[in-house]
Structure 1
């Protein structure tokens, strides 16, 4: 999670806007008079809580997120907005240190190495004769070619130094391979060797799609361990990652629910079957950091436990107040008390399902896909689930057994923050145990043994209740989605990141791109074209540097940015570089990219306005209705204009390519 995302996850845009704009409810959204232009007749300014975005449907025709609003309202630059909003959200900004530049450079190189390693393993999987066993294993798991490509499955040769030799020849040192987790060192002998050998390689990506490590499944019958993950590195920390989140963000938003499973294969099988809201928790107990990542896309989480992990004995063990196991290196997959704490702090809805005995999501989805959504729909709130499991098979004539169950469940109930919900479970537990609720409330719980808190638990919780944050488009697409369909935000993110990467590499290409856009009767590229606050700030700075000097270097750009923007620039520089070198061809490609993402944004907005129009009709909101009807007249015209520009640009690009092929240039 970036600093800006962390800030947006802790602040509610409705609260921020309400300080200067009088808002009223309009369906699920809020409406008011735009603070950026004179208007006292029609409240054309809307704030969308679900996506934490705003948009003016009036004269401004602008929109954006929290940062774009406060920057426009206060006249702040990005740095000022970041500092003020961070202070308000209780987020500490990382100070710029003299060594940071070298550290950033090393991390950039590590990210590039991991991407190259993923490509290397993937090509081995597809083509190496030695990978036949891996291909057969994947075929037995019924994974299709599209799924294999989507998750970039790979194969590590059964060799002690194949990976090491390959990347040594590419210019990477053993120390860099060790830092990336691709090599292992024997501390006694001082020898270094490949960490992954004869394993199916599963790249693990962060929320932005950057490869940060690997999960590797053994292909040997009795291979130990069954799954071997990358060690903790500068980029890989499994307590901060959720497998599959990069490809499931849109699905989670659409379903308004995230289903959390235990295995990589579960995620792949779910994705293949069309269930695109599934992520895996990397084998550890869910951390608040992981849930905060998910909270940007939904408030409801469903934890899918296999029958063994959810058995009564394991569940009751996880409820022990002391939780002695936390002092040791163990995998705690179901921590009921931790989940209840997370629910309260995040104002989330966490539910649990138990899968049929002997089945996991992979099996269920393969054998009977229709059964999966039914199981998910049966998920119970954490405390209700624990009560049902703890009392299953309980002898209701055994008073001591009932007391033991009460002593284990009551800490969960007492940790619930909402008083109505807490009282509900007092009553439910009393009914289930067939005892008087007053007797239940008199039970004294043993004192908690003191223990050392984990780093995850020692973080100060801000007084402000965290609110959901969604990354949405500025400009045309700043309306909440019911479902991000078609060319989703992931494709647009990638196009915009690649655009900035090319612009950083060749600063003057933006001048040619803008000229061609004008020739197509389209507006020039501005910061409002971009989704991320960081990207908007970077392109503004690029324009400033280009205006000041005909030659702009990456070092100049780097030195002109503060830490948060340097972190984003670091990521942009790790993106693959286009082999194309001719300025005309590059600018053609970038113009088409701009037109494509604008077209995707307008089409998405058109879909959303239709949905909002339907809501306004149901609510009888005549003012909102008039605004949306006007948009439905204007947006199709914008689609036609963009399509016309794209067709014209495509034809020009084809002619240039043909001329080049014929040797005319």
Structure 2
């Protein structure tokens, strides 16, 4: 059905957003300004106590500062009530007192057909419920009683029973005037291809009605009473009403419960959901006989920004979790997170509740872990990292995984969390927490100190210029929050020799706060050269600070390149200095020159750098005993 923009604008003009939202929230009247159409309330989309949900009637929009939900009155109806677009427009039109535009004939026919199918599904639900109360349903009632369901629980979830008769439902509904083609299209019966008589899809099974977000029965799930049945659980097929990858069992009641502040718990099956809900965990849902799909994940996030995935502690549960990692990472971001609660091995929620009570399951929920934990465990489980190559493989796998995350801030936080876990895994060695090792690690040098054989030489000392550049880089990153994340890979390579400055560098990269880091920052900010720098003294121009920081890091890397070549020269010289060594020294000088004088070509200024380098080389060679120079 096509709705004109003019009609939608008229609806928005006639119906304030606050009138639609007000049915779902309690306004904070102390903070709201009713005269100006400015309203505040706790968010209806995620459990909270503070009024972070803002409605602006003048602009016609709402926005939550907690979960970042936003939109107009139509989108609120769709997200809060599970309505499709046309249904939301109908609600708004009724509020505004406007007649709906005429539908095109094809759309009207489809809508009318869906109504007929829904009526057939409701009739089937009543039939199955009556069958459970008969003598044929005695074994099913006994099974449900053993699972802890009393009559109140059976009625709440409208459980029924399909007798083991070939045409029990078909005959009952046909006698009520429901046509065979309707029963076939609704997935209630199977019509043989050879033209034989239709027969019931569900036979000898406990029946679980599956309702959509609006409360309409759209499908059934059936549990076999015969332990030798080919399929323990059987669901309705895909129909015009039912797409199993886009629905969740118990979604309507769970959404209402989550709106009151309870967590959204995603269990494995129907009985798990029923057991959880009856024990007071009313925000429970389940996928419909399949692994969680992308559409189901998006549906969960529309209900809660952080669903808890409840997994069995066995190998199958772990495999399901790992499949979900790759599905969720490309969709992760603010307001779209997951936590994982792992049940004790051999227990499902029903088992745990009956054996140990509600407190045991609450403990499992309270220990739910974030997605990043499962990603880390997947990459390290059963592996050893006793060589640079194996560690490099770990780094590559982690980088590949988090590269899927579209939101930059979330991606940076994942990188920080993984660095911390890597740091812990490798015994707290300096640099071990980096996804990319620093220059001292790559060269095999002892972290935090020069190599013993070069300690007494000029190459083993960090000159004042290096220290000042390092200090300025750290000062700029500390003064401009967020800047460190933009140069994360380069800042990782900084690896200050001073332990306190190293701690500060780690704090800036991970967002942590250590005593050593605070002490280093205090000393840096007390330095008279740092205090005299306008970018530090009068912070404000973040773009200029980023440019200056990039130039400082260029200079540090160029100086270290020169340092590395001199170190290599010290290690390689066995007698004569050849042309290859001289060429490498000159290339090192070129790199340093470009970083320090980027606007000048390689002309006389470079020759000055070469002269300075030659003087340093001469001083170095003079200190080597028994060496000759060519």
Residues 1:139 and 2:145 aligned together: yes
Residues 1:153 and 2:159 aligned together: yes
Structure with greater Cα Rg: 2
What is residue 387 of structure 1 aligned with on the other side? 376
Residues 1:359 and 2:381 aligned together: no
Q: CA deviation at 1:159?
A: 1.1
CA contact (8 A) 1:255 1:277 kept: no
What is residue 325 of structure 1 aligned with on the other side? none
The match for 2:287 among 281, 288, 297 is 281
What is residue 34 of structure 1 aligned with on the other side? 35
Q: CA deviation at 1:433?
A: 4.8
Separation (CA, whole Å) in 1 of partners of 2:437 and 2:370: 21
Separation (CA, whole Å) in 2 of partners of 1:85 and 1:253: 14
Separation (CA, whole Å) in 2 of partners of 1:300 and 1:52: 11
Unaligned runs of 5+ in 2: 19-26, 47-52, 62-71, 79-83, 88-101, 427-431, 440-630
The 3 A distance-change label for structure 1 pair 29 and 148 is farther
Q: CA deviation at 1:50?
A: 0.5
What is residue 104 of structure 2 aligned with on the other side? 97
The 3 A distance-change label for structure 1 pair 367 and 33 is same
The match for 1:427 among 413, 416, 419 is 419
The 3 A distance-change label for structure 1 pair 427 and 310 is farther
Map 1:162-241 to 2 at 5 A.
162-188=168-194, 190-241=196-247
Cα RMSD for the two superposed structures: 3.9
The match for 2:116 among 109, 116, 135 is 109
For structure 1, which segment, 432-441 or 406-415, has the greater mean C-alpha deviation from structure 2 after superposition?
432-441
Paired residue secondary structure (1:335) = helix
The structure with higher relative contact order (CA 8 Å, sep 6+) is: 1
What is residue 403 of structure 2 aligned with on the other side? 414
Paired residue secondary structure (1:213) = strand
Separation (CA, whole Å) in 2 of partners of 1:375 and 1:28: 38
What is residue 519 of structure 1 aligned with on the other side? none
What is residue 464 of structure 1 aligned with on the other side? none
Paired residue secondary structure (2:220) = strand
What is residue 81 of structure 2 aligned with on the other side? none
CA contact (8 A) 2:312 2:345 kept: yes
Q: CA deviation at 1:105?
A: 1.6
The 3 A distance-change label for structure 1 pair 311 and 177 is closer
The 3 A distance-change label for structure 1 pair 260 and 67 is farther
What is residue 47 of structure 1 aligned with on the other side? 40
CA contact (8 A) 1:414 1:422 kept: no
The 3 A distance-change label for structure 1 pair 184 and 441 is farther
The match for 2:329 among 340, 346, 349 is 340
CA contact (8 A) 2:312 2:342 kept: yes
Give the count of matched residue pairs. 375
Paired residue secondary structure (1:270) = helix
Q: CA deviation at 1:352?
A: 1.1
Separation (CA, whole Å) in 1 of partners of 2:280 and 2:265: 13
For structure 1, which segment, 361-370 or 281-290, has the greater mean C-alpha deviation from structure 2 after superposition?
281-290
Separation (CA, whole Å) in 2 of partners of 1:274 and 1:362: 13
Q: CA deviation at 1:158?
A: 0.5
The match for 1:119 among 113, 126, 150 is 126
CA contact (8 A) 2:245 2:296 kept: yes
Deviations along 1:261-309, one digit per CA (max 9) or x if unpaired, are: 1110011111111111111122333344334444444322110111235
Q: CA deviation at 1:260?
A: 0.5
Separation (CA, whole Å) in 2 of partners of 1:84 and 1:254: 17
CA contact (8 A) 2:45 2:304 kept: no
Map 1:471-482 to 2 at 5 A.
none
Separation (CA, whole Å) in 2 of partners of 1:422 and 1:220: 48
The TM-score, its normalising length taken from structure 2, stands at 0.53
Q: CA deviation at 1:402?
A: 5.3
Separation (CA, whole Å) in 2 of partners of 1:419 and 1:342: 11
Unaligned runs of 5+ in 1: 18-25, 37-44, 54-62, 72-79, 319-333, 443-665
Paired residue secondary structure (2:36) = coil
Separation (CA, whole Å) in 2 of partners of 1:412 and 1:198: 46
What is residue 39 of structure 1 aligned with on the other side? none
CA contact (8 A) 1:242 1:281 kept: yes
Deviations along 1:63-121, one digit per CA (max 9) or x if unpaired, are: 998899849xxxxxxxx9869999xxxx9879943212222221111111111111110
What is residue 349 of structure 1 aligned with on the other side? 337
Separation (CA, whole Å) in 2 of partners of 1:209 and 1:289: 19
The TM-score, its normalising length taken from structure 1, stands at 0.50
Paired residue secondary structure (2:124) = helix
